[in-house]
Structure 1
Amino acid sequence: MNIGFWNLNNKDLIAEVKGLAFEKSLDLIVLAENFRHPINSKDLSDPNFQYVRLKLNSRLKIFSLVSKNTQLRILDESPYYSIIGITQCNTSFLLVVLHLPSKLWATDDDRSIPITAILEALKLHEKNFYNRTIVLGDFNLNPFSKPMIHAGLLNTTNCKKTVSNLKRKVAGTQCSYFYNPMWKFFSKDFDGFGTYYFHGSGAVIFKWNVFDQVILRPEMLKFFDEPSLEVVTTINGIDLVLKNKNIRKSDHFPITFSLIVS
């Protein structure tokens, strides 16, 4: 199963989204900030794409390829996230898709509130899905941001050996891990690109950020094809990076990855 996420920044990117879906053979596409130039299922590369209607979450759009082997069910929603139960053949897992409040209008403490709500909702659903959970979207946080690594929040790490312990105990409370593979996109091996570029005048500016992320529970790692994880910088033969390393089209790059499920 091939999955993609892209924050479109309300730009007219119908051709680019269609190209992304075709080039990466996507089975599931999650889009953020698609209000001004709305994309419909008929705009995508395969006529079998179906729009997955979200009742409370207008910040995201989901399109899924119709298949008799795949079932999707919306389990929980808020204006900032949706929790979807997915069954692909004989494998079931949870996909949390989110778009947390912008850094322009909210602080990391503000973003911690919907994160806490997600974790509370997951307590109700994860036991029915064997703790197989993926969280995907625009976190408006870097992998090193406090809500990402705080034990009482997402409790992520980039170390597979560490997450194999499943949990860590802090102040008498067992805190479940998420594995975060997105750290690698800060490496020089990836040309210094993240997923979002911002050049401001403040004293502390990272310029390249990795706001668009996918994180996984340890129980989901056996299904995750990590080499497939990609920050996409070219679509339809068009480079999404300008010469000054800024991003053209949207202000975010799309990310794609694959799950090996049967």
Structure 2
Amino acid sequence: MIVKNFAVLFTFTFFVFSDTAFVDLPKCKLDNFECMRGLYESVIHGIGKTGIPELKIPPVDPIKLTNVTVNVLGLVNITMVDGVAKGVKDCIFEQFRVNITEERGHQENTCDISIKGHYKIESASPLLEALLQGNAISGEGNGKIKIEKLHLKFDFPFYAQKRDDGEIYMKCIYDLIKYDYEIRGKVGFFADNLYLGNQEISETIMTMLNENWQFVMSSFGQPFVDKGVELYFKFAGYFFDSVPARNYILDDLTPYARP
């Protein structure tokens, strides 16, 4: 979710003391962007496959997907009934910077992402069925999508939040995240048991998708990336929502803190 090229790598050391967990991390000044990049990278890579059970932080790789549905242009619903997304822990983090006075942050990373599992697809539009001469698109079986070198740019609002426990946390406002992406590698698709009416069309459709993946992603890929970004920040945010900023930030955040 590859980082061997970077000179600075951070590692997690987890200690359990009484009923609480303490996370020992290198500390950064907010204006030291290289340190902040490495810190964020270490958070994602360190949680990795294990998470931090003591803080009730789940793993970020693989991410378990259960009944996650994406609607594509109002035409079909694609549901990952039971699957996993892999690759987050090996992402390359090129940039991570924050401005505490403006309460804005920016990050860029590149990831190889794969999603596979038990899928279900069904028509969501009578118009589509009419165009297909009354035939519905349906399917339920094994599916996989692999995206190579997915480059993501995020701009996100955040603030220093002082909570009732007296600690200050870095709180990201996930609903207001703006992002852009480009695929610098290629995309591969696989699915079986895909039908148009009573006709099995898996091989035909997969050939078409894989030969025209650039058009497919530019035309229909946005809902999938939207869902992926939502899940990525949901899991990455667990750490910053759970660990007081004093454990990894050197600056005094008191002047900036608000409820």
Greater percentage in helix:
2
TM-score (norm 1): 0.26
Greater percentage in strand:
2
- Max Rg structure: 2
